[in-house]
Homo-oligomer: A and B are copies of this chain.
């Protein structure tokens, strides 16, 4: 007979490899409560299964998309309590989109200011720099 746990239980290294999430980050997510406490081997090593892997992957995707810890916490708690409604998820998402759009706006403004400053600059070997002057006002 084959191992009962074949393909179903694995250590933190495999979690990390398969999700692309750094080992210390996996432990960190456990510490802050995004990931549940896993079972342990007799020696004390963490043992994970596919469900936990999927959850970690979900967290990773959320981070890539720029959701904050608390946003992820909100999404996960809906998932966990099985009381997701599309409308709720939608509202978390659109709030996040608004954030992103605001950040883009701010950065564009910034880029304009910086470019203007840079354009006025002679790039020369001289100590009078309009950029520095602009920063001192």
Contacts and interface: CB of A to CB of B under 8 A. Distances in A.
A132 B94 contact: no
Contacts of A114: 65, 93, 96-97, 100
A132 to B, nearest CB: 6
Given A65-B114, A94-B118, A107-B104, A86 B135 contact: no
| Protomer copies | 2
A132 B100 contact: no
A17 interface: no
B85 A126 contact: yes
A55 to B, nearest CB: 9
Contacts of A101: 111
A57 B2 CA distance: 70
